[in-house]
Chains A and B, each alone.
Chain A
Amino acid sequence: MSRRKPPSVKEDVTCNLIPMIDIMFLLLLFFMLSADMTQREFEDIVLPSADQVQESPKEKGENTSVTVNIFHRQESPTFTCAVYSHGGTCRDKTHWLFAMRSQEFTHDTLKDQLQQESQADLEPEVDPTTNKRMSARTLIIRADRLAPYGDVQKVMQLCGEVGIYKIEVAASNPLNV
Chain B
Amino acid sequence: MAGASIGDNEENPVAINVTAMVDVIFCLCVFFMCSLHFREMEGKFDTWLPKGKGSQGMPSEGIITEIRVAVFWDEAKQQAVRMLGTRVIQDDEDLQTRIKSAYDDFVRMNKPDVPVTIDAHALVPWSAIIDIVNICKREHIEKIEFAMGAAPPR
Judge: A and B partners, yes or no.
yes
The residue that A168 contacts in the complex, of B4, B46, B52, B121, with Cβ under 8 A, is B46
State the interface size on chain A (CB cutoff 8 A). Answer: 62
Which residues does chain B contribute within 8 Å of A145, judged by CB atoms? Answer: 125-127, 130
Residue B29 at the chain A interface, CB threshold 8 Å: yes
Complex interface: stretch among B35-43, B82-90, B100-108: B35-43
Contacts between chains A and B (CB distance < 8 A), count: 170
Contact B21 A157 (CB under 8 A): no
Contact A149 B123 (CB under 8 A): yes
| Given the contacts A55-B43, A149-B120, A127 and B52 also touching, CB distance less than 8 Å | yes
| Given the contacts A28-B29, A35-B36, A129-B52, A89 and B78 also touching, CB distance less than 8 Å | yes
Contact A148 B44 (CB under 8 A): no
Residue B51 at the chain A interface, CB threshold 8 Å: yes
Which residues does chain B contribute within 8 Å of A150, judged by CB atoms? Answer: 121-123
Complex interface: stretch among A46-54, A74-82, A107-115: A46-54
Which residues does chain B contribute within 8 Å of A89, judged by CB atoms? Answer: 78, 125
Contact B35 A168 (CB under 8 A): no
Q: Mark A114-148, 1 if CB is under 8 A from B, else 0.
A: 00000000000001011000100000100111111
Contact B137 A52 (CB under 8 A): yes
Nearest first, the 3 A-B pairs at minimum CB distance are A150-B122, A31-B32, A52-B137
Question: Would you mind naming 7 contact pairs between A and B with Cβ atoms under 8 Å apart?
Answer: A15-B4, A31-B33, A32-B28, A55-B42, A149-B128, A165-B49, A169-B133
